[in-house]
A and B are shown apart, each in its own frame.
Chain A
Amino acid sequence: MIPANCGYETWFRTILKANSGYRRDGPMTISADHTAAENTDLNAVQADAQEAEVRRKFGISLEAYMLPAHRQIQMVDPEGQLKAREEQGTEAGHEYPLPGDAELVAAFEQLVVGRRVNDQNSALVRQGRMAVYPSSHGQEACQVAAALCLSEGDWLFPTYRDAVAVMARGVDPVEAMTIFRGDWHGGYDPLEHNVGIQCTPLTTQLLHAVGVAHAAKLRGEKTVVLAMCGDGATSEGDFHEALNFAAVFHLPVIFFIQNNKYAISVPLSHQTVAPSLAHKAVGYGMAGERVDGNDLVALLAVLDRAVKLAREGSGPLLVEANTYRMQAHTNADDATRYRAESEVAEWMAKDPISRLKTYLQGRGLLDAEAEARIAEHAEAVAKQLREGLGEDVPVDPQELFRNVFSEPTPQLREQSALLADELSREATTREETAR
């Protein structure tokens, strides 16, 4: 036991005295009592400076820069044909150069791997080897672009649906799937690849992205952070708070929204009546853009520029990818209850893989040999998943207590001993019955 604090006796009398008069004159004020900063409208001054910079850099007004282009950016059409420049949706100040060939071929490989990962994981759920898998089938172009637009040292903040993006950042596929395997809540070390946890509470991760970017900025690092969320998630309060914080602190965060048209069963029209999700950016003082989320070429073009701008110090940006969730929300969901097959079929024709494949083949960038090699790569990852998730991973009940705090509290030590005792008695009983 610790000896009594010598100060207690004299001290408590002063409190009682201090508190007696408090009710009348205590500083129970919640209004700031400092004078407004010389009556200067700092926001107006800032807006003027921003306007001047945008005019110099992009040759358009601040408003035209922040509002998305009138149409979404699309470079390769669903048939795999490169669109004419003036048809791509680009405008003055919203210009996007075509990504390089090497980048596109590497991206195609990830696209094929991503589709294989999605379908393998869904199969593993059906076989009972995984509890649940929210597939990004149909959205793989978004997944790949989100991962590939970043450089080493940059950060990605994914959601539950973004396993393909996580793996494309270099996280081990089996570690990435631990969250859905059921033996722990997370399987990878976020600090190893600068990939946040696959976040389930909607849009909470956007604020973590803001914090990571803020810390990096304070240290003078040129880190860019890409934060992902869905269309439904844009209705959450943390979406608003994250965009506003990123803008106010002028942080290099790219908010990347995969608008796959549904939040479980609820269509986008129930979430917002804004002209588009990209239009939300201007309200925070940041630029927003819309892009065809099934066109990997356009996605890379738009995100590459966003990353470049963010790294140069332009502050945050918002990119809305127009895509579609081809399968049910998860295996537990029945999509036929809320959407028509014809709608799904319509989107089937806009598949991101066939479109890029046709385009690359047409450009002579993808021959049979390369295709075979890519298919082999995808198969290898699928095998890794089957084997890794097929294994019955031994769980350690004592791990339950290990990482609640850095050091277990006395209470947790007691509870861990209790469980250990219970388990050892069970084991003894089992042995005895066996004998």
Chain B
Amino acid sequence: MSPTVTTSSEANGNVSAATARAAAKAAAVAEATGPQPVTMAKALNTALADAMQADSTVLVFGEDVGQLGGVFRITDGLMATFGEQRCFDTPLAESGIVGMAVGMAMNGMRPVIEMQFDAFAYPAFQQIISHVAKMHNRTRGRLKLPLVIRVPYAGGIGGVEHHCDSSESYYAHTPGLKVFTPATVSDAYRMLREAIDSDDPVVFMEAKKLYWSKDQVDLEALRREHDGLSDGGSGTHAQRTEGRAVVARTGTDATLITYGPSVPTAMAAAAAAAEEGRSLEVVDVRSIVPLDDETITASVRKTGRAVVIAEAPGFASISSEIVARIQERCFHYLAAPVRRVTGFDIPYPAPKLEHYYLPSVDRILDAVDDLQWED
């Protein structure tokens, strides 16, 4: 059952040797039971391998995803395990990658493609906006495009220009695209499997700075949970993630609403606030499209105060959308105007300046302090 996945060092060797090592490793993995320390990168990699194992129409391609296993090693070992027909490197052309994926999806495949970095997906913009998002609508539902575009995104990693963009708003603004962004290791597995299962195209945004975050995760249990879901079952742990935000920490005084790379910062802020005697709830949006208005509004109605946190520039962004929706739906429950902590409206800064830009615990706590507690 357990698909074989190799580590990055193995991807450097030749394919057959890697396959042998992968098989040995798979046996070891299969034996391991219960929660293990797992990185988000590993969870994503396992989700890809499991999806490829479960469905031979799932294909993985992009730049450097084959032999190398991706610059972030998310596709590590997939070529060795599933062969060069199912996981392969393409010529270096993002529009080509997406456009070809459109044709493949039209013709019975479920491509999962990788854009190497956020800003390098822009050459594919026309294909994504004009075709990926619209083919289903244009053909009155006759053509479905079950494809996943994986985009490593956002900063906080000391990356140089073009490697740290928060580009989620471009996609979310385009009707016809689903946009997911997991913040936990478990959600990374769950959401990628769900994205691949989806008959709609999904832009799957992976916060680069979370790739090496670790959690105690039972991958086998997640696998079972997913299989229960796709069988239409509702196993005890079964959690559909599409369109469902999650309350990452419960609290009573104010709600921090965030997603992706900013979730750990919000969690840290909530922990710090607790020490100061303030109980903050944290909502991880995780499914940007479709958005879970219900969970967000339920939390804000409960606490009466909210701060929306996102790394992207705040102007015309996901954070502005969330604020607008809270104000439309929770106006009479609010004790204070909804605040935002976002990136400044500037091009993503150079590495030595990025800490001025990124939402920080202090900035979040300042915003919380501003929520008119005296009134």
Contact = CB atoms under 8 A, between A and B. Distances in A.
A11 B99 contact: no
B293 A403 contact: no
Given A33-B12, A204-B131, A405 B103 contact: no
Interface string B1-42: 000000000011000000000000000000000000000000
A18 interface: yes
Interface in A1-58: 1-5, 7-12, 14-16, 18-19, 22-24, 26-30, 32-35
B177 to A, nearest CB: 9
Given A3-B247, A7-B186, A204 B216 contact: no
B348 to A, nearest CB: 14
A330 B126 CA distance: 23
B139 A405 contact: no
Contacts of A95: none
Interface stretch (A100-108, A183-191, A376-384): A183-191
B17 to A, nearest CB: 13
Given A22-B157, A241-B93, A245-B93, A185 B106 contact: no
B141 A211 contact: no
B96 A9 contact: no
A194 to B, nearest CB: 9
B217 A211 contact: no
B185 A219 contact: no
A232 to B, nearest CB: 16
Interface stretch (B46-54, B238-246, B339-347, B366-374): B238-246
A204 B210 contact: no
A9 B249 contact: yes
Nearest to A179: B138
Given A19-B209, A207-B100, A241-B96, A11 B184 contact: yes
B93 A12 contact: no
Contacts of B141: 402-403, 406
Interface stretch (B227-235, B261-269, B304-312, B330-338): B261-269
B135 interface: yes
B93 A208 contact: no
A4 B144 CA distance: 34
Nearest to B267: A12
Contacts of A32: 64, 67-68
Interface string A193-216: 000110001001011111111111
B169 interface: no
Interface in B163-208: 163, 175-176, 178, 184-187, 198-200
Interface string B46-82: 0000000000000100001001100111000000000
Interface in A207-238: 207-216, 218-219, 237-238
Contacts of A1: 247, 294-295, 298-299
Interface residues of A, number: 68
A354 interface: no
A411 interface: yes
A29 B71 contact: yes
B252 interface: no
B315 interface: no
Contacts of A15: 209-210, 213, 264
B254 interface: no
A248 interface: yes
A409 interface: yes
B131 to A, nearest CB: 6
Nearest to B127: A204
Contact of B99 (A4, A189, A204, A218): A204
A240 B284 CA distance: 42
Given A7-B215, A214-B100, A405 B200 contact: yes
B95 interface: yes
Contacts of B200: 405-406
Nearest to A216: B107
A33 B71 CA distance: 9
Interface in B116-144: 116-117, 123, 126-127, 130-131, 134-144
A201 B126 contact: yes
Contacts of A23: 157-158, 351
B75 to A, nearest CB: 13
Contact of A406 (B67, B105, B144): B144
B109 interface: yes
A273 interface: no
B115 interface: no
Centre residue among A191, A405, A406 by max chain B CB count within 10 A:
A405
A298 interface: no
Given A5-B184, A191-B106, 5 more contacts: A186-B139, A211-B101, A241-B93, A245-B90, A406-B198
12 contacts: A5-B184, A30-B116, A204-B131, A211-B104, A211-B107, A212-B103, A241-B99, A248-B90, A402-B141, A403-B140, A405-B136, A406-B200
Interface of A: 1-5, 7-12, 14-16, 18-19, 22-24, 26-30, 32-35, 184-186, 189-191, 196-197, 201, 204, 206-216, 218-219, 237-238, 240-242, 244-245, 248, 399, 402-406, 409-411
